[in-house]
Structure 1
Amino acid sequence: MIVTTVASIADLSPGAHACMTFTDPEERLDLMAAYVHMGLISGVKVLCLTEALPPDRLKHELAQREVPVTEPLKTGQLTIGTTDEAWMAQGGSPTAKSMLEMLAAQVTQAVGDGYPGLRVSADMLWATRPLAAIDQLLTFENSLTTLLENGRLTVICHYDRDQFDPVTLDRAVEAHPVSVAAAAYHDDALLRVCRQYSPPGIRLAGEIDADHADALAQALTEAIRLDHNVFLNLRGLRFIDLANASTIVRAALSLPADRHLLVVCDERIKSTLALVGASEAAQLRVQVANGQP
């Protein structure tokens, strides 16, 4: 099967069967938030099956990413449940047949409730459990096409690259017609710079020095062009040199007075930004992660 990679969650059409592989949990949550939010806006029913995070924690993470979860949860448009409650409702490991039957029933219920369709976000981490049947997982992925033909069901499956063995991961990805990934400006063992979907902006993870200055400059230039206010997520950044810190301050200074650049980072990164004049840039706002500015 030829796998098409889409640059944006917004490019997913009804009836899509997409695979999201990831190593950064924050990046996965961003993409999931965009997927869920767009489903709610379009008026379809949304079902989130979670394994890595408890439902209450996932609800919090979606809300933190500006997904309006409270009212949809009350009305039933949004459901957040565990994979145990869905795939394993009958006890033991799920089978491809039971998973397909569950999704078919969910689509029927959604349509019966007046929704035009169902959008499913499925964390596939359950398949790494010791007694999980990998062959059933792959049979499910390869058999899902029959439920997608009328466009009422859209599914995105999440695979953590650090949890699945390479052979299983490759076979799972091949079973999906579409692959979803964040737009990356740079990605190697030291640093990842990518587009963040919700809130719109840029995420840096790892360490950035002079050798990677072009990636940061490119990302900031595009964000300034695309976004009114620029959001720079540095929660996952362990080190930034003075030159790249200066690039951030200069980018903020280039903004007109009615726009700003918000940086979220830890105390060390904040201190580095302070050394290159962050306090002198009125358009720059620095917020310590999980803390106050």
Structure 2
Amino acid sequence: MAQADGVRRRVPVGKLRPGDHACLLFASEEERACVLRGFLIGGLRATHKILYLAGHDGPHSAGELMGRHQISESAIGAGGQVEIVDAAQPCPDDRQLDLDMMLGRLRKACDRARSQGYRTLRIAGDPGGAPYDAYDLGRLLRYEALLAGEFRTRDTLTVCQYDLRRCDDEAADAVESAHPWSVEVDPLVQTAELVIVRTYRPQGLRIEGVVDAAAHRHIREALQTVAAVRGDVRLEMSRVEFLDLGGLRLLMAFARARAARHYCVELTGLMPHLLQVITLIGWDSTPGLRLAATHAC
């Protein structure tokens, strides 16, 4: 598979391949849903068996899982292609993570999938329904080690979900380090010259490559996807190699529109020469615009 991006070893969900073991760190249901939708649709299209480990809060059926991610229930297929594996504790008051129970149920589900003729399995889920701070971090890491050891030699793609609102920084760093990859949403735009990725922490976009006349439509459509965000929006631009005046005008118009709603647009990572152009034209005083640190020389 392709190398991941940056020190966090991020990789788009669509780039995962059999044998990969990745984590999904999310801080909103929107972020989780966007990533998992790509994971599920990719599995349906590839005719992979999809096994979803569900905690106390569900989902409790394949139809409910598809509905949560705005996928037609008819896309599930005729052979039970999507299966919910109950990972909830036998007693809702038991806040300990029962590793043997969870892995036992998952192992049986994998065996069923093999007997159905599926050669590749996609596994996703949350390691239990209780807040992560109720778990011992050592047990969580043992769970990850057992999961990786159990399924590394099989044709599986595994995505472990962790809600950053429910675990502290130490736990988040530890579980991320336990995975070769940290998965993110697939790009909104991916051409030979331009890549645009929706980001969620903070809310905004990551723009990479060349922004010229051919890219204006893509920029306009990508900005529209974050137009309804409540709060400030950050555009991360440290990998923008070229940005023409037309592209700058689109960004300034977007900033003014955000200002009308009492929000701002922060441009981060700009190359020094791009910052200089914005300043010379006088656009640095555009309502709703905030200029952050420039790209390192």
Q: TM-score if structure 1 supplies the norm length? A: 0.61
**Structure 2: how far apart are the matches of 1:153 and 1:127?**
26
The residue number in structure 1 matching 2:89 is 88
Q: Aligned with 1:126: secondary structure?
A: coil
Q: CA deviation at 1:137?
A: 2.1
Q: 2:48 aligns with which of 44, 50, 55?
A: 44
Query: What is the aligned-residue RMSD (CA, Å)?
Result: 4.7
Q: 1:30 aligns with which of 34, 44, 47?
A: 34
The residue number in structure 1 matching 2:225 is 233
Spell out, residue by residue over 1:73-95, the C-alpha distance to the aligned partner (whole angstroms, 9 max, x if none): 764111346xxx32425773332
The residue number in structure 1 matching 2:119 is 116
**Structure 2: how far apart are the matches of 1:246 and 1:123?**
43
The residue number in structure 2 matching 1:70 is 74
* Paired AA for residue 25 in structure 2: T
**Structure 1: how far apart are the matches of 2:177 and 2:16?**
17
Q: Aligned with 2:165: secondary structure?
A: coil
Spell out, residue by residue over 1:220-259, the C-alpha distance to the aligned partner (whole angstroms, 9 max, x if none): 879948969935322324358xxx99616989xxxxxxxx
- Whether 1:172 and 2:175 are equivalent positions in the alignment is yes
Q: Aligned with 1:46: secondary structure?
A: strand
**Structure 2: how far apart are the matches of 1:139 and 1:100?**
12
Taking a change above 3 Å as real, the CA distance of residues 206 and 177 of structure 1, as seen in their structure-2 partners, is closer
**Structure 1: how far apart are the matches of 2:64 and 2:74?**
14
The residue number in structure 1 matching 2:66 is 59
Unpaired runs of 5+ residues, structure 2, are: 1-6, 190-194, 234-246, 262-297
> Where in structure 2 are the equivalents of 1:185-224 lying within 5 Å?
195-196=187-188, 203=198, 224=215
**Structure 1: how far apart are the matches of 2:75 and 2:119?**
19
The residue number in structure 1 matching 2:102 is 99
Query: Equivalent pairs: percent with the same residue?
Result: 21
Q: CA deviation at 1:45?
A: 1.0
Q: TM-score if structure 2 supplies the norm length? A: 0.60
Unpaired runs of 5+ residues, structure 1, are: 184-194, 252-264, 270-293
Taking a change above 3 Å as real, the CA distance of residues 153 and 238 of structure 1, as seen in their structure-2 partners, is same
Spell out, residue by residue over 1:169-196, the C-alpha distance to the aligned partner (whole angstroms, 9 max, x if none): 222112112211348xxxxxxxxxxx45
With 43-52 and 26-35 compared, the bigger mean Cα shift is at 43-52
Q: CA deviation at 1:59?
A: 3.0
Q: 2:23 aligns with which of 19, 22, 32?
A: 19
1:201–1:223 contact (8 Å) kept in structure 2: no
**Structure 1: how far apart are the matches of 2:75 and 2:53?**
19
The residue number in structure 2 matching 1:151 is 154
